[in-house]
Chains A and B, each alone.
Chain A
Amino acid sequence: EADIYQTPRYLVIGTGKKITLECSQTMGHDKMYWYQQDPGMELHLIHYSYGVNSTEKGDLSSESTVSRIRTEHFPLTLESARPSHTSQYLCAHSQGDEQFFGPGTRLTVL
């Protein structure tokens, strides 16, 4: 039973476009995360939030921004997409140490 949703699942766009990747969870957990994952590489934390109106940058520098206006919603925005942003973006939430991941958004910027 899915309790975390990401849309779109796949996105191909041109350089310079503004995009928003959506992430929603139904568990009411305070902690949410965005990871970037390239093929064969480890997950890199790019943003996290420990509650409403709380956002922090992760270990990997990213040109994206996030917001947390509602507990269940943690969207990620790229103001001007570039080919270097091509990657898989994974959203997750947690209450304790276990993180629950969404299916990911595979982004390709041409």
Chain B
Amino acid sequence: QKEVEQDPGPLSVPEGAIVSLNCTYSNSAFQYFMWYRQYSRKGPELLMYTYSSGNKEDGRFTAQVDKSSKYISLFIRDSQPSDSATYLCAMKTSYDKVIFGPGTSLSVIP
């Protein structure tokens, strides 16, 4: 079993839809959770960072962490074609290296 599982998609939604991206993990020691966005032929860039259970909102993006279920989510409201990218979840313990999920490919259709 991989430490971090993520549905690779691809996920295709119409413009304006609410998108839900999810990851599950097996290591209960993970404390820091991140979402990266990676456009085609570019390096990943950090989108959201959280270190506690609950929700964190930044504009159209909301990151949700449920440590009891070992489950994290990223919600995108009013999705735009410019949101089309691969979204990678990432997490780490307090002392170890970052572990990345395989990413979910998202296409937002105008």
Q: CB within 8 Å of B: which residues of A?
A: 40-43, 45, 48, 58-59, 90, 92, 97-104, 106
Contact = CB atoms under 8 A, between A and B. Distances in A.
The 4 closest A-B pairs by CB, nearest first: A101-B43, A42-B102, A43-B100, A42-B100
Contact of B102 (A41, A45, A58, A59): A41
Interface residues of B, number: 20
B4 to A, nearest CB: 8
B103 to A, nearest CB: 7
Given A98-B46, A98-B49, A99-B98, A42 B32 contact: no
B41 A40 contact: no
A42 B101 contact: yes
Given A42-B88, A43-B88, A97 B34 contact: yes
B102 A98 contact: no
B43 A92 contact: yes
B69 to A, nearest CB: 21
B84 to A, nearest CB: 16
A42 B97 CA distance: 14
Contacts of B49: 97-98
B42 interface: yes
A87 B8 CA distance: 19
11 contacts: A40-B8, A40-B102, A42-B4, A42-B100, A42-B101, A48-B97, A90-B44, A98-B46, A99-B98, A101-B45, A106-B41
